[in-house]
Amino acid sequence: MSFISRAVQGCRRAIAALEQAQPLAQLAARLYVAQVFFASGLTKLRDWDTTLALFADEYQVPFLSADVAALLGTAGELVLPVLLALGLAGRFAAVGLFIVNAVAVVSLAEIAPAAMQQHLFWGSLLIGLVLWGPGRWSLDRVVAPRLAAPYPSAP
Q: Would you place residue 1 in the very low, low, confident or very high pLDDT band (cuts 50, 70, 90)?
A: confident
> Under the phi-then-psi rule, with left for phi > 0, alpha for psi from -120 to 50, and beta for the rest, what region is 87?
left
Position 122 in a domain: yes
| pLDDT number for residue 99 | 97
Position 148 in a domain: no
Position 75 in a domain: yes
* Domain encompassing residue 113: 37-137
Position 27 in a domain: no
Average pLDDT over residues 131-138: 96
| Per-residue pLDDT tens digits for 58-114 | 998 989 999 999 999 999 999 999 999 999 999 999 999 999 999 999 998 889 999
Total number of domains in the chain: 1
| Cα gap 131→133, rounded to integer Å | 6
Q: Are 86 and 38 in contact (CB under 8 A)?
A: no
| Cα gap 40→103, rounded to integer Å | 14
| Cα gap 67→90, rounded to integer Å | 28
Task: Kindly report the pTM of this predicted structure.
Answer: 0.86
Position 47 in a domain: yes
| Cα gap 19→145, rounded to integer Å | 22
